[in-house]
Structure 1
Amino acid sequence: MKIRSKLAWTYIILLIIGIITISAYSILTIRSFLLDEGVEQFERDALSLALAAGSFKDNALFDDKIQRQARLSKYEMAVYDRGGVRFLTFPDSAFEDVEPYLNEDLLTELEREDGDPIVRSDENPEKLIAYVDLGQSDNAAQYLRISQDKRQYYAAVASIRHIIYAGMFFSIAAVIVVSILFARYMAAPIQRLNEAALDIAKGNLDRKIDLNRNDEFGTLADSLNHMARTLRADNEKLKMLNEKQSQFFADITHEVRNPLHTISGALEMLELKNLQPEKKKQYMLTAQKQIKRVARLFEDIKTLQRYDFDENFINREVFDLKEIIDEALMMYEPIAQEKGLQLKAANLKSFMVNADPNKMEQVVDNLISNAIKYTQEGEVEVGLKQMDERVEVYVKDTGPGIGEEHLDRLFDRFYRTDKARSRDKGGTGLGLSVVKGILNAHQSDIKVESEEGVGSRFYFRIPIYENS
């Protein structure tokens, strides 16, 4: 059974039960109220009739007066003498099954009530019956019995009951119609949400649910829309990651294959007979150089892997950043001089930082190494600059510069601006990716400013350690 049908039947059954219960309660309440009102009026009429009967003179017109009073009041009346014997009735047919005399208990009770009517319901449940002591009357009558059928009091209830039944059936019909419409109204957004959820599950992440409602359905629609947007964004990220991963493995294969081919070729040449010692030495150096290149490649991959998965990738301690830069400058000074470059230091002063000294040394080493490698003439400048509570480390060169189209992907793994020339320089294509990974682990980032034909400036910033 669909939820719409369940909702409709639930509302219909509950409301019908409620309507029937209220109607039945109303009828019983009105019936009881009318009966109570009738009994009160009956007692008042009994007193009035008793006063009138007691005032009639004891003559030949006494019977006519009693009968006329019974006709006018529409009550059944019987008159008893002082001994409790009935001597007058109207109409006679109403007293065929009534005893012709009053029993002792009733007589005693009437004397004790001293003129108040006694309503008896045990004689005939279908009638209201009252006995009244006339007291000092002007005739032979001493006790008066009046009675009336209860159905006269329920006549109004029957009319009201018909009205209530008509209203009840009309209400039930209205409830059925309203319940069906309300169930459709309640089930419509559920069906739309279900269809949208199935579409999203099938991969239709562009599906948008437009429910202009301020209730829980509207909130759920917003949540599903948000979920679809999140899944769409995650799907795009996964797509990009998959593309990068595919490219990554292709690049690794390419990067390893070239040096292996070189090593294989060198080894084949070394197997030649009568190879001159100079050539033999040359091929040995070539093989060693390519082996070191492959070793550096896998060392960089290991570093990047640790950055991706190892929470303890960095081991922080407080140290002087200037000392690391001084050591790097001392190491690369001979290499720069050999290429005819000037390696300059700018504003080198002590800055204490809380970082991993080995990883920061690797970052500085990579940046200076790249700057010297790609700069053919001019200078390479390494410096420090205080930026409020941070210190900026920069490496500036006068190399060929980097095109703007390459800046967004410059730090991707194995990305090269000029793949042929870069590979000839012996790089692994992972240096800047390693730099970015290390700095990201330090909650920092590597930035670059470059202009083709002018040079490049790589820099990063790290908080200055303050011993409080």
Structure 2
Amino acid sequence: MKIRSKLAWTYIILLIIGIITISAYSILTIRSFLLDEGVEQFEKDALSLALAAGSFKDNALFDDKIQRQAQLSRYEMAVYDKSGIRFLTFPDYAFEDVAPYLEEDLLSQLEREDGDPLIRTDENPEKLIAYVDLGQSDNAAQYLRISQDKSQYYAAVASIRHIIYAGMFFSIGAVIIVSILFARYMAAPIQRLNEAALDIAKGNLDRKIDLNRNDEFGTLADSLNHMAGTLRADNEKLKRLNEKQSQFFADITHEVRNPLHTISGALEMLQLENLQPEKKKQYMVTAQKQIKRVARLFEDIKTLQRYDFDESFINRVNFDLKEVVDEVMTVYQPLAQEKGLALKAKNLKSYTVNADPDKIEQVMDNLISNAIKYTQEGKVEVGFEQKDELIEVSVKDTGPGIGKEHLERLFDRFYRTDKARSRDKGGTGLGLSVVKGILNAHQSDIKVESEEDSGSRFYFRLPLHENS
């Protein structure tokens, strides 16, 4: 059974039970109220009839007066003398089952009532019965019995009951219609949420649920929309990662194939019998250079892999940043001089930072080597600048600069602004990716400022140690 049917039947059954209960209670309450009102009026009428009967003169008209009084009041009446013997009834057929005399215990109760009506409920449950002691009457009558069927008091209930029943059936019909509509209203968002969830499960992450409700259904719809959005973003991210991974492996294959071809060609040339010593030496140098290039490639890949998966990629210690930078500059000073470049320092003061000195050295090695590699004339300047609690390290060159179209992807793995010239210079295409990975592991980032024909400036920031 669908939830809409379950909701409809539940509402219908509960409301029908409620309507029937209320209707029955209303009828019983009205019956009780009418009976209480009737008993109260019956007592008053019994007392009035007793006073009137006691005032009649004892003559030939006495019976006619009692009979006329009974007709006018529409009560059944019986008159008893002082001995408790019945001597007059009206109408006659109504008192076939009435005792012809009053018992002693009844007479005793009447004496105790001192003229007030005595209501008897044990003689006949279908009637109201009252006995009254007339006291000092002007005739032979001493006791008066008055009775009336209870059904007369319930006559109004019959009409009211029909009205209540009509209202009850009308209410039940309305309840059925309203319950079905309400069940549809309640089930509609559930069905829509179910359809949306099935669509999302099938991969339709563009499905959006718009219920325009402020209740729990609306909250659930917002949650499903948020989940679909998150899944959509994750799928896009996975798609991009898959594309990058595919490109990464393709680039690795390409990067390894070129030096291997060069090594293979050099080895073939070295096998020639009449190869001159100078050529032999040249091919040996070429092969060694390409072998170093492959080794450097896999070392960079290893570094990036550790950054991706190893939480202990960096080991932070406090060290003097100037010492690390000075050491790297010392290594590359001869290469800069060989190219006719000035490798200068700017504001290289001692600053204590909390970082991994080996990884920061690798960052500086990549940045300074790249600057020297791509700068043909001018200078390469390495500088420090303190900015509040951070120290900014920059490497600035007077090289050809980088076009704006390349800046966004400059730190992607294997991305080169000029692939042919980069390979000629022995680059792996991973240097700047390694730099970015190391700095990201330090909760920092590498930034670049560059324009074509205006040189480049690479910089990053590290937090100063408190005692610096």
TM-score of the alignment, normalized to the shorter chain, above 0.5 = yes
Q: How does 1:86-97 map to 2 (within 5 A)?
A: 86-97=86-97
Give the residue type in structure 1 aligned to 2:290: Q
Partner of 1:26: 26
User: Is 2:363 aligned against 1:363?
Assistant: yes
Unpaired segments of 5 or more residues in structure 2? none
Quote the offset at 1:274 in angstroms.
4.7
CA-CA distance at 1:155 after TM superposition: 0.4
- Structure-1 residue corresponding to 2:217: 217
Equivalence map 1:80-159=2 (5 Å): 80-159=80-159
Pairwise mapping of residues 268-307 of structure 1 onto structure 2 (< 5 A)? 268-307=268-307
Q: Which amino acid aligns with 1:66?
A: I
Does 1:442 find its partner at 2:463? no
Alignment correspondent of 1:49: 49
1:443 and 1:310 map into 2 onto residues whose CA distance is 15
Of residues 302-311 and 145-154 in structure 1, the stretch that sits farther from structure 2 once superposed is 302-311
The aligned amino acid for 2:401 is G
Could you tell me how far apart the structure 2 residues matched to 1:41 and 1:361 are?
Answer: 113
Fraction of identical pairs, as percent: 88
- Pairing 1:49-448 to 2, within 5 Å after superposition: 49-448=49-448
Letter in 1 for 2:91: P
Distance 1:290 1:195 in 2: 60
Equivalent-residue separation in structure 2 for 1:36 and 1:2 (angstroms): 51
Letter of the 2:363 counterpart: V
- Letter paired with 2:309: F
Residue 316 of structure 1: CA displacement? 0.9
Q: Following TM superposition, by how much is the alpha carbon of 1:388 offset from its aligned partner in structure 2, in angstroms?
A: 2.1
TM-score of the two chains, using structure 2 as the length reference: 0.97
**Larger mean Cα displacement after TM superposition, 109-118 or 200-209:** 200-209
Counterpart-to-counterpart distance in 2, 1:333 and 1:139: 152
SS of aligned partner of 1:186:
helix
SS of 2:154's partner is: helix
Q: Which moved more, 1:107-116 or 1:125-134?
A: 107-116
Q: Secondary structure at the match of 1:391?
A: strand
- Could you tell me how far 1:202 is from its partner in structure 2? 2.2
Q: Using the TM superposition, give the Cα deviation of residue 325 of structure 1 relative to its aligned residue in structure 2, in angstroms.
A: 1.0
Q: 1:428-457, CA deviations, whole angstroms, 9 ceiling, x for partnerless residues?
A: 111100100111111111001111112111
Tell me by how many angstroms 1:87 deviates.
0.5
TM-score where L is the length of structure 1: 0.97
**What is the identity, as a one-letter code, of the residue corresponding to 2:301?**
I
The CA distance in 2 between the partners of 1:365 and 1:53, in whole Å, is 134
SS of the equivalent of 1:429 reads: coil
Rounded to whole Å, the distance in 1 between the matches of 2:140 and 2:121 is 27
1:379 Cα offset (Å): 0.8
Counterparts of 1:369 and 1:424 in 2: how far apart (Å)?
15
**Superposed CA offset, 1:397-449 (max 9, x none):** 11111111111000001111111111111111111001001111111110011
Tell me how large the CA RMSD over aligned residues is. 1.5
Letter in 2 for 1:451: E
Per-residue CA shift, 1:200-244, capped at 9, x if unaligned? 222222222222222222222222222222222222211111110
After the TM superposition, which of the residue ranges 25-34 and 196-205 deviates more from structure 2?
A: 196-205
AA partner of residue 334 (structure 2):
P
Q: What residue number does 1:11 align with?
A: 11
CA distance in 1, matches of 2:397, 2:36: 111
- Where 1:79 maps in the other structure, the secondary structure is strand
Runs of 4+ with deviation above 6 angstroms: none
Task: Indicate the SS of the match to 2:58.
Answer: coil
Q: Matched residues in 1 for 2:123 and 2:272: separation?
A: 141
Q: Which moved more, 1:33-42 or 1:288-297?
A: 288-297
Shift of 1:79: 0.6
